[in-house]
Chain A
């Protein structure tokens, strides 16, 4: 049974710092991996989607890497800003398109100005 773990559960950093969020999964046979952002009381916003054949994806100040064989992904946020404060969720898709996502519990990030 696939399990997704995110470490740390919470993180506080000062503005401007670069940071890394970690995601690990127990079954390396994934179809793709997705990083989301969730703001309090809001829905999820997709940040980056990495296919199983890819090693990384970049969008602006965000870079996500995937090491499928070791069951790990990282989300790197450069030059953090207070507006980055949110919960970041990692999710894997086990099968082909059309199957459900399996989520970690998330890392809650707080960036202070």
Chain B
């Protein structure tokens, strides 16, 4: 049983470039969450998606950031025109359809470094 997979694990970009982070949820999970962990900070929620729908994007910056979870394939977090302040670890979590004992399963993260 494969867990949540994220790639790449490490990504280096220069200012102004685009970053694409991929997340493959646990097989059978239809809910995906993205979190960001800035240096010396706790994890902060960014966006929650179900297949083909964005449910809650209240934690995602309004500009330069977008997310999708298509019917087929991984969820993508896209950051356009990256700046140094985007350097962080980005974690994806998935969960099955809603149950009372729902647990979010986290991937290993993508560590983005903007030069």
In the complex the two chains form, what is the Cα distance from A41 to B107 in whole Å? 11
* Interface residue tally for chain B (C-beta within 8 Å): 31
A43 touches B106 (CB 8 A): yes
Interface residues of A in 63-90 (CB under 8 A from B): 89
In the complex the two chains form, what is the Cα distance from A71 to B22 in whole Å? 36
Is the C-beta of A98 less than 8 angstroms from some C-beta in chain B?
Answer: yes
Interface of A is mostly: strand
Interface hub of A4, A41, A43, A103 (most chain B Cβ within 10 A)? A43
A-B contact count (CB 8 A): 64
Produce 1/0 per residue, B86-115, CB < 8 A to A: 000001010100111111111111010000
Residues of B close to A89: CB separation below 8 A: 42-43
- B51 to nearest A CB, angstroms? 13
Residues of B close to A43: CB separation below 8 A: 4, 6, 91, 106-109
- B12 to nearest A CB, angstroms? 16
